[in-house]
Amino acid sequence: MSSPLRIAVLASGRGSNLAALLAAHERGELPVEFVLVASDKANAGALRLAEAAGIPTLVLNPRAYADRLAFDLDLFARLDGCGADVLVLAGFMRIIDGQALKPWVGRMINIHPSLLPKYRGLHTHRRALEAGDAEHGVSVHYVTAELDGGPVIAQARLAIQPGDDEHTLAQRLLPYEHRLLPAVLKLIADKRLQLASPDGVAFDGRQLSAPLRLQGDQLIG
């Protein structure tokens, strides 16, 4: 049997998506090895989760670096050094320099709480409500130099309810995030997904014409 895919997770906040990955792994549904959880925030909840799970952690303070590029180059050198095959951005709230991330293109995914290409960047729930959208959702995409702009692998959708506000919408979306990210990572671990240049996603060797959709816990094309 080949050794499991080595994953490093980057997170700036509470880490509920990391928790979902750990839970899927615990249930035997995610054949990966977590080699590192890294953060730009010493108080990130994600770090505490990693410590509790016995996963090595790394905190780098952006203010200790001359500029974004210097921070990113050091971060990625360390991620490389820990032997990570794939990087998962799970609430990593920093823009990453394009030059620094280049060696990882095709091996780095991000979870973003909108139906990309809608609402790149921040305040996605508010923007969906303000636009009067009927539905909202979450995307997992390959990371490229374009912020929240890389090829979308998979999405989960939910209907916006009449009484929804930013808070309720974010809360109702979260369980979808927690199913989507492990499901995508499982496909990567099973070597069923690839970044197909220049801007597509191949699933089982065939280029996707639309992102995979989450139904229950399953991704379907």
Kindly list the catalytic residues: 112
Q: Which of these segments, 108-116, 128-136, 186-194, 203-211, binds ligand GRF (CB under 6 A)?
A: 108-116
Pick the binder of ligand GRF from 25, 41, 112, 136 (CB under 6 A). Answer: 112
Position 177 contacts ligand GRF (CB under 6 A): yes
Contacts (CB under 6 A) with ligand GRF, residues 122-151: 138
Position 17 contacts ligand GRF (CB under 6 A): yes
Position 16 contacts ligand GRF (CB under 6 A): yes
Position 87 contacts ligand GRF (CB under 6 A): no
Position 15 contacts ligand GRF (CB under 6 A): yes
Considering beta carbons, is residue 19 or 70 the nearer one to ligand GRF?
A: 19
Map residue 164 onto helix, strand or coil.
coil
Position 113 contacts ligand GRF (CB under 6 A): yes
Considering beta carbons, is residue 17 or 155 the nearer one to ligand GRF?
A: 17
